[in-house]
């Protein structure tokens, strides 16, 4: 069925629908594009014969806002959006963001904080018995007790706080269809305790098969180390082959039970999902507001894979999508690209071909398909596993096919490239063609830091690996007479990073002759290893103590050191250098980061006087 899903009673009447099977309440604008989770889930349900209506960004201060489509036959679906609503709203400084790319016109204030919880409670006020199933990134990463940075507290499972019946966690195509089929068959939502990729609540554990009992919520409140232990158990049970049922106890005899993850999609299943009849743009009702800004990043980009075996400590992908790589076929991607070229706005440039990590196009090793991913080791950290299957040929072939399409001038790769995986490949053909054909002036890579002690906590390779990559990357640019640069993503204040480490990073940038325009201050988002470190002061993998920079002023100093050339950062950099006992970096020598204060003031005064004389 082509056309947008109904957003009003009038739309339902035109489609001949008296009562919808599902009403999907979302915190984003309605964008019918496969880069948006609500579009995928609703189209998958539609393909299985279920009708779905969309209530986008309802007014959470008005109980009637969630009733505009009536009561659904089977249940309400609720999602906090493509981003966690708190990350969407706030910088790491906890200051409000001025825009919202997922709202018409980029306006803010259209969604509440903790949107999934607020919408769930809003629905429950009117519909006491109607099933509520929550999903999306916000629900997925808060499915069990979790640290909430914005309130600086350990929160309960979002299942309890939202008054929902089920969580569909991870990539929910399989679990949502099983849920729909069970409800349509007449099963009550209380009996849906068997579906992989779901979380439910119960007072009776007799039907739970060989569960792992996690520390109780109360024990974790009393002892942060208990939360670190719990998270490590959760983290090692994110694989569908080896994952076990996890049980978390709450007061009053309530248990929250997480079933093992749903199995990953096969190539055919991935193709089927992306071949559904998406409109590939935002709902026309938003045109008067200027559209939805987020579409511009994805409209001419292609998703080729899911999952990531990189397992960086600060990333939630392992917890959400898992470590098993899932891919679309070349044929499916090429079909989408050909359709893209027919769009009147297409100028010949495919902006990206990738996913969480662009150059992952197959499982990391053959063993994991039968036995699951390793629980006690990573694929790339601290060094590539001896069983790692390093091969870029399939991705390279795909890129060649795409750039050969009529109407395509250039195919860019803007998703993250794992430079350590790239360096592990003895065949340098992909790196050569990446440099020659697929970079738009700058290649974004993510070394994150240069101190090996910090990199180890980040789950990143040693700095020597990045230096080898830079040398190789620059040599190919010279060979092809191209002026293209590697732009490193750097992070300040990650657990383990001290002021001395931040100074060392500043010195590295000085020697490199580069000052980044943007710096990412570590953001403790739900359900990452790094966030556990931040909250507990412990590395959950080893239970060893970790230094954590929590003081906002010290965090500002670490961030300022990375941009030490910016005059606005002068006082912070000077203070940081004194605190780190590195006064040797204040002076006139080539190795100094800043000049003495008096000279800086004189230059500033002279500059002001010069401006005044021009007036």
Query: pLDDT tens digits, residue range 75-129?
Result: 999 999 999 999 999 999 999 999 999 999 999 999 999 999 999 999 999 999 9
User: Per residue in 130-169, pLDDT tens?
Assistant: 999 999 999 999 999 999 999 999 999 999 999 999 999 9
Residue 599, pLDDT > 80, answer: no
pTM score of the predicted model = 0.94
Rounded (5°) CA angle 568-572-577: 130
The reported pLDDT for the residue numbered 416 is 83
Q: What integer pLDDT is reported at residue 412 of this predicted model?
A: 96
The pLDDT, as a whole number, for residue 143 is 98
Cα separations in angstroms, 540 against 122, 230, 312: 36, 9, 14
* Proportion of the chain above pLDDT 70, given as a percent: 97
Domain boundaries, the chain: 9-198, 300-440, 441-615
Mean pLDDT, to the nearest integer, of 278-306? Answer: 96
Query: Mean pLDDT throughout 254-264?
Result: 97
518-529 as b/e: b if 16+ CB within 10 A = ebbbbbbbbbbb
Distance CA 9, CA 13 (A): 6
Q: Give the pLDDT mean for 482-503.
A: 95
Three-class SS string for 62-100? CHHHHCCCCCCCCEEEEECCCCCHHHHHECCCCCECCCC
Residue-level pLDDT at 492: 96
Q: How far apart are CA 557 and CA 395, in angstroms?
A: 41
Answer yes or no: are the C-beta atoms of 569 and 519 closer than 8 Å: no
Average pLDDT of the chain to the nearest whole number: 95
- Report the topology of domain 300-440: Transcription Regulator spoIIAA (3.30.750)
pLDDT for the residue 415: 86
Scanning the structure block, which residue is given the tokens 């030490």?
Answer: 564
Give, in order, the Cα–Cα distances in Å from 6 to each of 11, 224, 279.
5, 46, 13
pLDDT band, residue 516 (cuts 50/70/90):
confident
pLDDT classification of 611: cutoffs 50, 70, 90: low
Question: In the prediction, which pLDDT does 598 show?
Answer: 53
CATH 3.30.750.200 fits 441-615, yes or no: yes
Distances, alpha carbon 60 to alpha carbons 25, 55, 123, in Å: 11, 12, 10
393-403 vs 429-437: helix crossing angle, rounded to 10: 30
Looking at residues 170-189, what average pLDDT do you find? Answer: 97
Q: For every residue of 553-581, which 3-state class applies, written as one string?
A: HHHHHHHHHHCCCCHHHHHHHHHHHHHCC
Q: What is the DSSP letter of 366?
A: S
Domain 9-198, CATH class in plain words? alpha beta
Do the domains 300-440 and 441-615 sit in the same CATH topology, yes or no? Answer: yes
- Check whether the bond before 382 is cis (ω within 30° of 0): yes
Output phi, psi for 155, to 5 deg: -95, 155
Spell out the residues 6+ positions from residue 435 whose beta carbon is closer than 8 angstroms to its own: 473, 476, 477, 480, 482, 484
Q: For the residues 300-316, what does the mean pLDDT come to?
A: 94
Cα–Cα separations (whole angstroms), residue 567 to 561, 592, 594:
11, 15, 9
* pLDDT at site 466: 96
Mean pLDDT of 333-341: 97
The 10s digit of each residue's pLDDT in 342-368 is: 999 999 999 999 999 999 999 999 888
The pLDDT score that the predictor gives to residue 370 is 86
Position 607 scores a pLDDT of 59
pLDDT in tens, 545-573: 999 999 999 999 999 999 999 999 999 99
Q: What was the pLDDT predicted at 376?
A: 86
């Amino acid at each position: 069925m082509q056309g947008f899903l109904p957003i009003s009673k009038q739309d339902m009447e035109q489609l001949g629908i008296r009562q919808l099977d599902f009403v999907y309440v979302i915190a984003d604008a309605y964008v019918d594009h496969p880069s948006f989770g609500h579009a995928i889930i609703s189209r998958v349900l539609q393909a299985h014969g279920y009708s779905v209506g969309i209530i986008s960004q309802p007014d959470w201060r008005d109980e009637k806002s969630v009733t505009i489509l009536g009561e659904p036959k089977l249940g309400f679906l609720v999602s906090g959006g493509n981003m966690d609503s708190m990350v969407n709203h706030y910088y790491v400084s906890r200051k409000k963001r001025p825009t919202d790319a997922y709202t018409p016109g980029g306006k803010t204030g259209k969604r509440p904080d903790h949107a999934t919880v607020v919408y769930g409670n809003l629905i429950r006020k009117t519909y006491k018995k109607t099933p509520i199933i929550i999903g999306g990134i916000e629900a997925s990463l808060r499915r069990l007790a979790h640290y909430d940075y914005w309130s600086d507290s350990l929160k309960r499972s979002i299942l309890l706080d939202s008054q929902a019946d089920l969580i569909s966690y991870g990539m929910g195509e399989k679990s949502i269809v099983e849920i729909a089929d069970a409800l349509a068959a007449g099963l009550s939502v209380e009996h849906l305790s068997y579906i992989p990729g779901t979380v439910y609540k119960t007072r009776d554990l007799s039907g739970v098969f060989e569960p792992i009992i996690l520390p109780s919520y109360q024990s974790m409140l009393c002892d942060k180390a208990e939360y670190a232990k719990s998270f490590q158990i959760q983290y090692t049970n994110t694989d569908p082959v080896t994952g076990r049922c996890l049980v978390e106890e709450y007061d009053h005899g309530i248990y929250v039970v997480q079933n093992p993850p749903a199995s990953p999609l096969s190539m055919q299943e991935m193709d089927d999902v992306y071949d559904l009849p998406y409109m590939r743009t935002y709902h026309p009702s938003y045109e008067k507001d200027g559209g939805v800004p987020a579409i511009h990043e994805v409209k001419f980009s292609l998703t080729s894979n899911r999952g990531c075996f990189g397992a960086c400590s600060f990333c939630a992908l392992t917890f959400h999508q898992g470590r098993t790589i899932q891919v679309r076929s070349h044929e499916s991607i090429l079909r989408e690209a050909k359709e893209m070229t027919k769009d009147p706005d297409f100028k010949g440039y495919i902006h990206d071909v990738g996913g969480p990590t662009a150059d992952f196009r197959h499982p990391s090793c053959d063993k994991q398909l039968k036995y699951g991913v390793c629980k006690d080791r990573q694929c790339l950290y601290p060094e590539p596993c001896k069983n790692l299957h390093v091969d870029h040929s399939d991705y390279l072939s795909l890129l060649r096919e795409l750039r050969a399409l009529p109407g395509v001038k250039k195919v860019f790769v803007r998703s993250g490239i794992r430079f350590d995986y790239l360096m592990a490949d003895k065949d340098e053909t992909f790196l050569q063609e990446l440099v020659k054909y697929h970079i738009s002036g700058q290649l974004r890579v993510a070394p994150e830091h240069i101190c090996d002690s910090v990199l180890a906590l980040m789950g990143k390779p040693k700095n020597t690996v990045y230096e080898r990559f830079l040398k190789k990357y620059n040599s190919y640019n010279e060979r092809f007479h191209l002026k293209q640069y590697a732009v490193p993503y750097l992070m300040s204040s990650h657990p383990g990073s001290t002021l001395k480490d931040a100074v060392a990073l500043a010195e590295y940038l000085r020697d490199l002759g580069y000052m980044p325009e943007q710096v990412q201050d570590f953001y403790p988002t739900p359900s990452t290893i790094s966030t556990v470190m931040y909250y507990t002061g412990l590395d959950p993998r080893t239970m060893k103590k970790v230094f954590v920079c929590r003081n906002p002023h010290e965090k500002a100093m670490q961030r300022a050191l990375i941009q030490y050339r910016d005059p606005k950062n002068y006082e912070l950099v000077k203070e940081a250098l004194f605190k780190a006992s590195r006064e040797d970096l204040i002076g006139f020598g080539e190795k100094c980061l800043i000049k003495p204060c008096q000279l800086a003031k004189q230059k500033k005064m002279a500059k002001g006087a010069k401006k005044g004389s021009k007036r």
